[in-house]
Amino acid sequence: MSQILLPYQSQSFLENGEVFNPPQPTVRPLKTEVCTFTKSGGKATGSVGVMTYDLFEKSQNDYIETLAIMFSVPWDYNLYKNWFAVGVYKKGRNCDKDLFKEMYYEKKEHEHGFVRGEANGSGINYVGNYLDIKATMCPMGNAIMKVEVWDKLFTHMGQQAY
């Protein structure tokens, strides 16, 4: 987790499904947090939605961007697949149906500030102005998504600074 930017004020929007274990309001540097979204009981729908964190920049004492995480775990795998996306938006982006639709449907994802991928166990990478975001998601019905947020200044194993 970033040490320069502090994710705070989490929000979530669900097109389908329910919050089982809500997102942590603030994610502290170098900490891992877990949240769980699940399908709605008794309905033939999956768990589909988006969550955001405002990114607080300590030296400016204000939030400067919004981190967005989109997920789609369908009910019917004959028609749909698991998809996920991560990105960073300008300060003030709403966590709503419009954001979900953009991250799920938009063809020009890089122009809109995010990356998307089919959940097959491989990862996606978003390179932002202040952060690098790495994410993976499995293709199963009880899908698990893992997201890492790294400061731009930090070079971790497997990467070279040029």
Tokens 């966590």 label which residue? Answer: 95
Please state, in angstroms and as integers, the Cα–Cα distance from residue 104 to each residue in 78, 101, 118, following that order: 18, 5, 11
- What residue spans define the domains of the chain? 5-151
Greater confidence (78 vs 99) lies with 99
Least Cα distance to 2 among 155, 149, 159 occurs for 149
What DSSP letter does each residue of the chain carry, written as one string? --SSEEEEEEEEEEEESEEEEPPPSB--TT-----EEEPPTTSS--EEEEEEEEEEEGGGTEEEEEEEEEEEE-S-TTT---EEEEEEEETT---SHHHHHHHHH-S-TGGGTEEEEE-SS-EEEEE-SSEEEEEEE-SSTT--EEEEEEETT---TT----
Give the number of other CB atoms < 10 A from CB of residue 81: 12
Average pLDDT over residues 113-125: 95
Greater confidence (86 vs 46) lies with 86
pTM of the full structure = 0.86
7, 113, 116, 84 alpha-carbon torsion, rounded to 10°: 30
The domain 5-151 is placed in CATH, from the list 3.40.50.300, 3.40.50.720, 3.40.50.880, 2.60.270.20, at: 2.60.270.20
Q: Which two structure tokens, joined as six digits, stand for 78?
A: 């004959």
Q: What is the pLDDT of residue 115?
A: 98
Q: What is the pLDDT of residue 43?
A: 80
CB 127 within 8 A of CB 110: no
pLDDT tens digits for 13-72? 999 988 888 888 888 887 888 888 888 877 888 899 999 999 888 888 888 899 999 999
